[in-house]
A and B are shown apart, each in its own frame.
Chain A
């Protein structure tokens, strides 16, 4: 390591380059073992939607290095991101960080941090931050027959269609400390959506104790500004992001309200959406 604590690149003899969603990422490591773990982590993080390429100019370069005391360091483009002496926790963070790096710089796609299900060939998109009950609602919707698209990202193409990112549902529980476990969508009786679909409904909602779902209908513009904080490439590709958001939600109904328990909410939402779609078909 150099004096400023950054990794000396001569120490990083192991390397691979991946391409995912049009972003080329180089990953260098100080040992074969770390590199293998990085590759496994990357494959899992991106649900296998990556290609290992032989040689290319990269958009972003990660460096992973372990010091003699066993602390693992992560740099991105020469800047220190983090370090950890617990390997599992280190790679858990790397998993998240890599995915967001791809999401932020993806070409031709706009990643929205959101839960997504498909219902009658339309997407129900639930943008929300972590710990706001997004996964719980998605799981309940899937349990009630909706197709599972994602509990993390609505991936929009340039036409505004939503593509699936069907990683296992991340359910949280408390076991002395908050933990997470991956739950296969099939285990809640769900079918995984595969084809790109247009957005039919956007739900801006968070769980609140004793809350009653009493939605306010937002205009397209109001809806988009509520979605912007969850839009990953908003800083790096603002113009494209806004255009795609506009296309994506221009025919959708956008509702905002706190909600109560997910199980009741899911049934109410699907009934409401059914009625809305039937009405839209008639008119």
Chain B
């Protein structure tokens, strides 16, 4: 991608909830929950396909009231892309620097909080996620039941445990 093409925020298959200073996104396809801090959320909302990276930087700068570089925007786009929150995967353009180097550079220079996306995968099955009850050992060997005391034994009283 170059600066004349704008990233597009994904909308389908997502449930979005605004919370104070953050945005929660639940991906129905992957059962992944994301928490976007204010900077990441502002950038995500600006990804309408029309705004280029430099334009997004300006928009965020106006909203956040502090200097925002293109690296700053790329840092968010990199995470948005990695978490499948954009219509198309986009490789970050860090001009030869690593993500860590960019974070360090931005962190020192920026008054605006670095864009951060925290993510967590939720088990698909509610039953398996919260119960170690079983009728046969096969039920203990399914991935979500790996949290139980045993993944191979359904004991005499029906618990995945010794």
Contacts and interface: CB of A to CB of B under 8 A. Distances in A.
Interface of A: 82-84, 86, 88-90, 92-93, 96-97, 100, 103-104, 113, 129-131, 174, 177-180, 219-222, 224-226, 228-235, 238-239, 242-243, 246, 250
A219 B22 contact: yes
A82 B131 CA distance: 15
B122 A177 contact: no
Contacts of A88: 157
Contacts of B20: 220, 250
A130 B161 CA distance: 12
B111 interface: no
Interface residues of B, number: 44
Given A224-B19, A228-B122, A178 B159 contact: yes
B107 interface: no
A179 B132 CA distance: 12
Given A221-B35, A224-B35, A178 B149 contact: yes
Contacts of B47: none
Contact of B15 (A92, A178, A219, A238): A238
B159 A103 contact: no
Closest 9 CB pairs of A and B: A221-B22, A178-B161, A242-B17, A221-B35, A89-B158, A84-B135, A113-B130, A229-B122, A225-B33
B139 interface: yes
Contacts of A221: 19, 21-24, 35-37, 118
